Amino acid sequence: MSTTTVSTWIDSITVEELEKDPNPIYERLRKEAAPVVFLPAIGLHVATTAEACREIASNSELWYGFISPAGGRTFGHGAILNENGPLHEDLREMVEPSLKPSVVDQYVEDLVRPIARKFLAEFENDGHADLVAQYAEQVSVRSLGDLLGLNSVSSDKLREWFHKLSVSFTNAAMTEDGEFANPEGFTPGDEARAEIRSIVDPLIDNWIVNPDHSMLSHWLHDGMPAGQTRDREYIYPTLYVDLLGAMQEPGHAIASTVAGLWSRPEQFERVIDDPSLIRRAIQESVRWTSPIWSATTRQAQQATTVQGVDLPEGTVVMMSYGSANRDENVYNAPSEYDLDRRPAPHLAFGAGKHGCAGTYFATEVIRIGLEELFEAIPNLERDEDHEIDFWGWGFRGPKELHAKWEV
C-alpha cells in the first residue's frame, strides 16, 4: 500500500470478524465504501454490490477465473475455478454431462430419496437431533459421493475431508508483505489431500481399466481417444473443488433454509403444509445466507473501470456474492428471510462462464432432502435451548441446528 493511504476502519477489518458475521461489515462497505474496495486483511479487492459482482462475473473476456492465494495453496493450480480458455472448456465439458438438468432428472430421485430416508431412520424416533451433523451434511456428502463413485468412502470421512479442505481454503489472512498470516492453517488441507490421494488413486487405477457409470470414471474416459484417459494430475485439483464446495454447500443450504424458515414460524408452517413451496424457500435461503459467500475470485486482464472504480491490470477481486445478495438496491429488508418477497435474481451460484456447474444437481439434493425431512417429521421444532450460530465468510451456514419434536 502507498504511504499516503489514510488509515480507515476498512484497514482494521479482520478475517476473524468476517467469519463471525460478515453482514454488518459488508452493510457498511456497501453504504460507505466503493463497490470494489481493497481489503488489507486478505490483500485483495472485494466486490460488494450486486451490480459490481454481476458486471465482473459476466465479462469473462476481461475478468478471468482466478484462485485466491489460500485457495491455490489448498487445491494446487489448474482447478476448474482458475483455468480459462480451452483448458477451462475441457474441464467444463468433463464435469457437465452428469449435471445437465435433463440427465439429473433421470437419476436424482432414485439417488437422493433413499439416502435421505436412511439418515432420517437413524434419528426420527429420538425426538431431537442436530440437523447439520446428523442430516444436512450427511445427505449432501452421500448423494455426491455416490454419484462420483466414492461409494466405498464413508460419509463421515467425506465430511472430514470437506471440513479440512474448507478450513485451509478459507485461511485467507495475509500480512502487509503479502505472506500468509497463518501458514500452519494449511495443515488440515494438506492432511486431507494426502488421504484423498491414498484412497482415490487405487480407485482411479481400477477405473482406467474397468470404466463404469460413476462420474469420476466419466471424467477419466469421456472425450478421450480410445485407450487413453485424462491424466489424474489434471483431474485432482477439480476433484478437490468438488470434495470441498460441492460436498459442503448443499448441506449448508439445507440447514440455512430450515433456519430461515424458523425465523418466520408462519412461513415455516406453510412450507410444511405445502411442499411445493420448498423450491421458493430454497431460493430465498441461498439469497439470504449464500453458502458460497465469498470464495471465488477474478483477475482483470487489462486496466478497467467497474462501477466508477479504476482498477489496474492484474487486479484480483474476491466476489462477495453473499453481500451482493443482500444489496439494499435490489432487495427490500435484505437481512430478513422472507418466502413472500418478490423473487429477484440472485448470485448465489455466480454467473458467466465460471458460474456454478452443479446448480441444478445441488438444488435437487437440497429439495429432496427438505421434502423427506418435512414429510418424516412434520412437527419439527427449533430447540430453543441452543443458539443458531451461523459461521463463515468464504463459506457460510449454521454450525449446528438443534431440532426437537414429539415422538
Nearer to ligand V55 by Cβ, of 81 and 272: the residue is 81
How far is residue 124's CA from residue 110's CA, in Å, rounded to a whole number?
A: 21
Q: Decide: helix, strand or coil at residue 305.
A: strand
Q: 225: which DSSP letter?
A: P
Residue 407 Cβ vs ligand V55, minimum distance, rounded to whole Å: 37
Q: How far is the CB of 359 from ligand V55 (least distance, A)?
A: 10
Query: Residues touching ligand V55: how many (CB under 6 A)?
Result: 9
> Are the C-beta atoms of residues 220 and 229 closer than 8 Å to each other?
yes
Is 245 among the residues that bind ligand V55 (CB under 6 A)?
A: yes
Binding to ligand V55 by CB under 6 A, coded x per residue (else -) over 213-242, reads ----------------------------x-
295 contributes a contact to ligand V55 by CB under 6 A: yes
> Which residues are registered as beta bridge partners of 382?
403
> Taking CB positions, which residue lies at the least distance from ligand V55?
245
**In angstroms, what is the minimal distance from the CB of 382 to ligand V55?**
29
Q: Which residues contact 307 (CB under 8 A, 6 or more apart)?
A: 34, 35, 36, 49, 51, 52, 55
Q: Shortest Cβ distance from residue 401 to ligand V55 (Å)?
A: 22
CB of 79 to ligand V55, least distance (A): 8
Tell me how far, at minimum, the Cβ of 74 lies from ligand V55, in Å. 9
Please report, as residue ranges, which positions from 164 to 203 form the binding site for ligand V55 (by CB under 6 A). Answer: 169
Rounded to 5 degrees, what are φ and ψ at 142?
-70, -40
Query: What's the rounded Cα separation, in Å, for the pair 56 and 58?
Result: 6
Tell me the pairing of strands 316-319 and 44-47. parallel
What is the smallest separation between the CB atom of 297 and ligand V55, expressed in angstroms? Answer: 9
Distance of CA 115 to the CA centre of its chain: 21
* Site string (301-340) toward ligand V55, x via CB under 6 A: ----------------------------------------
Shortest gap between Cβ of 396 and ligand V55 (angstroms)? Answer: 12
Q: How many CB atoms lie within 10 A of CB 372?
A: 22
- Does position 366 interact with ligand V55 (CB under 6 A)? The reply is no
- Residue by residue, DSSP assigns 243-280 as IIIIHHHHHHHHHHHHHHHHTSHHHHHHHHH-GGGHHH
69 closest CA partner among 163, 181, 164, 162? 181
Give the residue with the Cβ less far from ligand V55, 361 or 374.
361
Distance CA 36, CA 359 (A): 26
Candidate residues 139, 292, 351, 370; the one interacting with ligand V55 per rule CB under 6 A:
292
Whether residue 247 contacts residue 141, with contact meaning beta carbons closer than 8 Å, is answered with: yes
The residue among 240 and 268 lying less far from ligand V55, judged by its C-beta, is: 240
Q: How many other C-beta atoms are found inside a 10 Å radius of the C-beta of residue 310?
A: 11
User: Do the strands 402-404 and 128-130 form a parallel or antiparallel pair, or are they unpaired?
Assistant: antiparallel
Query: Which of helix, strand or coil describes residue 240?
Result: helix
What's the min distance (Å) between Cβ of 376 and ligand V55?
28
Does position 296 interact with ligand V55 (CB under 6 A)? The reply is yes
| CB closer to ligand V55 out of 33 and 165 | 165
3-state helix, strand, coil in the chain (%, to 5): 55, 10, 35
Least separation, in Å, of the C-beta of 99 and ligand V55?
12
Residues 110-149 as x/- pattern, contact with ligand V55 by CB under 6 A: ----------------------------------------
Q: Of the candidates 47, 129, 246, 278, which one interacts with ligand V55 according to CB under 6 A? A: 246
Which residues 78-97 are close enough to bind ligand V55 by CB under 6 A?
81
Does residue number 158 form part of the binding site for ligand V55 (CB under 6 A)? no
Site string for ligand V55, 11-40 (x = CB under 6 A): ------------------------------
For ligand V55, the binding residues (CB under 6 A) are 81, 169, 241, 244-246, 292, 295-296
